[in-house]
Amino acid sequence: MGWEPIRKRPAGTVTPNLLDYERTRSDFSWEGARQQLTGLPGGGLNMAYEAVDRHAAGPLRDKVALRCRDRAGHTTELTYDELRRATNRFANVLRSLGVGKGARVATLLGRVPELYVTAIGTVKNTSVYAPLFSAFGPEPVRERLRLGDVRVLVTTPQLYRKRVEQLRESLPELEHVLVIGDAPPGTRSFAEAMAEASDEFTIPPTSPDDMALLHFTSGTTGQPKGAVHVHGAVLAHHVTAAYALDLHTDDVYWCTADPGWVTGTSYGIIAPLTHGVTMIVDASDFDAHGWYEVLQDEHVTVWYTAPTALRMLMRSGAELAKRYDLSALRFVASVGEPLNPEVVVWGQEALGLPVHDNWWQTETGAIMISNYAAEDILPGSMGRPMPGVEAGIVMGDGGRVVEVRDPEAVGELALRPGWPSMFRGYLHDDVRYAESFVDGWYLTGDLARRDPDGYYWFVGRADDVIKSAGHLVGPFEVESALMEHPAVAEAGVIGKPDPVVGEVVKAFVTLREGNDPTEDLRTELIAFGRRRLGAVAPKEIAFDQHLPHTRSGKVMRRLLKARELGLPEGDTSTLEVGR
């Protein structure tokens, strides 16, 4: 409300890839865009070839592909040709282990060079890369390794001891663990395995429909889902990075997304490399000074980050930003949760650039709705659909959905299937996959509205999934972990609105008879949650001996949330969208 549109002046020194939204959209076809990719020499399409090998065979051969800063600030560089050879080695390591097409290879790692080598080497070998969030506790790690039938895990000795060692017996499928550093019993040294492998490798025949990536995400009910993505998705990665991030080959690009989530792969590895840019990889945790230093010292030109990080920077003040020379920076984009207008406008004041919000999710594989370099921004809006993407607002109508065109109507954001990075299944769960599509629409689970100019505005989730610091947290997974504590009879978990991270995980807990709701017990439960769940554990716990239930006996999270927000409980009906 009351936020002025940010009008774009004619371009600066770099001509945006998308100059005229309507025209680009009407002229666009995925078949036509396919010309921007090279394809495997013998036919077929492999993500790793498009990201690395095709550049290593051309004029970008000796260009720096990755510039990795470790926590101490030391830098390691890999050129496109060095990255080609390192990923060849890793593909050969997999081959020597008997790990081939379709087999899942996971990482539990921070932003270290080996992560990139593993990801690209894995898809090169036509195996399937599955990143895990390194701040997950042992329970979420176990669930995902099991669900993904993961055969190879690459991690550090520290993370192995803390999160994985105790699970090995319950994970018979996990045959090989490679560690970066001294190998504890039951693991092998990543470096030694690489040293024994050849750096020559021929990519096997790969079809655009072959599985390449497995990304875990959370739903309202049940355990996590494994969204399957195929090699053909690379076309969407490439095109959307050109339009939504305005990537040009000469850019120095920095994506701050954690490598354990989909953004960390689509836009933290694949898309930027397909454009032949130099990518900055920073291993450090968030720190306002440190981040401005990276932007300044690395001469970052395009920066893709998240609302939580921007809000933390905003807290530290525009003055701090002005102490650094950010003159190289020309484009800033954000994803993960809705970007409030204050941050968009703060970007102009502190960075001299507005922040471009965009929207997508694990299942879509690539950016679907976006603001663009040459187009006006309406602060608070996620923007308009990408060329090649058809979006709509739909409403449920007795098991069917219909599109609504009333500009004020709130409904579920839906997409017409057909873009190349659309997920091709939930692993081992065909029913859930089928349920995601109704009447020719993919239903996203997000509520939104579309204004008369075609800009989309996020309203909320259609389900109980929690969005915290850009990550989806499944309430069921958190409730299940808490209920393993002997004092807990039942738990209901919600997202409590938070000005910095969007939502924090809050649990309402009913105690078993004989347990008193003391401060000590609350502290014990928070610690218990953290040990099991890691970063997705509840930050707040409230005791409630009278959790509201549905007739079928499920905890009514919506009602808990309405109470938390001080809403009249009847108001929750407005959050419901029929499916």
Partner 1 sequence: MTPDDARDMIQAALLTVAPDAELGDVAPDADLREELDLDSIDFQAYAAELSKRSGLPVTEEDQRGLTTLAAGVAFLTRARVRP
Interface residues for partner 1 in 150-189 (CB under 8 A)? 158
One of 19, 64, 320, 483 touching partner 1 (CB under 8 A)? 320
Rounded CA separation 314/342 (Å): 9
Q: Specify the stretch interacting with partner 1 by CB under 8 A; choose among 95-103, 446-454, 531-539, 571-579.
A: 531-539
- Tell me how crowded residue 188 is: count the other CB atoms within 10 A of its CB: 14
Minimum distance, C-beta of residue 116 to partner 1, in the bound complex (Å): 20
Minimum distance, C-beta of residue 287 to partner 1, in the bound complex (Å): 6
Minimum distance, C-beta of residue 172 to partner 1, in the bound complex (Å): 27
Torsion of CA 129, 135, 139, 142, to 10 degrees: 20
With contacts defined by CB under 8 A, how many residues of the chain interact with partner 1? 25
- Tell me how crowded residue 43 is: count the other CB atoms within 10 A of its CB: 9
Rounded CA separation 91/78 (Å): 17
Minimum distance, C-beta of residue 579 to partner 1, in the bound complex (Å): 33
Minimum distance, C-beta of residue 530 to partner 1, in the bound complex (Å): 5
Rounded CA separation 196/212 (Å): 25
**Binding of residue 530 to partner 1 (CB under 8 A):** yes
**Binding of residue 33 to partner 1 (CB under 8 A):** no
Minimum distance, C-beta of residue 532 to partner 1, in the bound complex (Å): 10
Q: Residue type at 325? A: D
Quick check: 145 and 174 in contact, CB under 8 A? Answer: yes
Handedness of CA 314, 320, 322, 326 (dihedral sign): negative
Question: Residue 279 or 309: which CB sits closer to partner 1?
Answer: 309
Rounded CA separation 229/153 (Å): 19
Question: Residue 288 or 353: which CB sits closer to partner 1?
Answer: 288
**Binding of residue 500 to partner 1 (CB under 8 A):** yes
Rounded CA separation 277/273 (Å): 6
Quick check: 392 and 430 in contact, CB under 8 A? Answer: no
Question: Residue 159 or 377: which CB sits closer to partner 1?
Answer: 159
Rounded CA separation 140/536 (Å): 9
Question: Residue 135 or 329: which CB sits closer to partner 1?
Answer: 135
Question: Residue 222 or 497: which CB sits closer to partner 1?
Answer: 497
Residue 114 phi, psi dihedral angles, 5° rounding: -60, -30
Question: Residue 4 or 285: which CB sits closer to partner 1?
Answer: 285
Window 59-78: contact mask with partner 1 (x via CB under 8 A):
------------x-------
Torsion of CA 505, 510, 516, 518, to 10 degrees: 10
Residues in the chain: 579
Question: Residue 143 or 199: which CB sits closer to partner 1?
Answer: 143
Quick check: 279 and 272 in contact, CB under 8 A? Answer: yes
Question: Residue 531 or 563: which CB sits closer to partner 1?
Answer: 531
- Which residue in the block uniquely carries the two structure tokens 């036919």? 43
Q: Residue type at 384? A: R
Minimum distance, C-beta of residue 92 to partner 1, in the bound complex (Å): 31
H helix count then E strand count, the chain: 20, 27
Window 508-527: contact mask with partner 1 (x via CB under 8 A):
---------------xx-xx
- Which residue in the block uniquely carries the two structure tokens 């299940």? 480
Minimum distance, C-beta of residue 341 to partner 1, in the bound complex (Å): 22
Window 117-136: contact mask with partner 1 (x via CB under 8 A):
------------------x-
Question: Residue 289 or 554: which CB sits closer to partner 1?
Answer: 289
Handedness of CA 373, 376, 378, 383 (dihedral sign): negative
Interface residues for partner 1 in 276-315 (CB under 8 A)? 285-290, 312
Question: Residue 8 or 522: which CB sits closer to partner 1?
Answer: 522
Window 322-361: contact mask with partner 1 (x via CB under 8 A):
----------------------------------------
Closest C-alpha to 446, from 572, 341, 336, 555: 336
Q: Which residues contact 19 (CB under 8 A, 6 or more apart)?
A: 11, 374
Question: Residue 176 or 532: which CB sits closer to partner 1?
Answer: 532
> How far is residue 423 from each of residues 209, 434, 442, 445, 496, measured CA to CA in Å?
11, 12, 10, 15, 29
Minimum distance, C-beta of residue 157 to partner 1, in the bound complex (Å): 13
Question: Residue 14 or 526: which CB sits closer to partner 1?
Answer: 526
One of 424, 531, 563, 579 touching partner 1 (CB under 8 A)? 531
One of 469, 472, 488, 555 touching partner 1 (CB under 8 A)? 469
Residues of this chain that bind partner 1 (CB under 8 A)? 71, 135, 137, 158, 285-290, 312, 316, 320, 469, 500-501, 523-524, 526-528, 530-531, 534-535
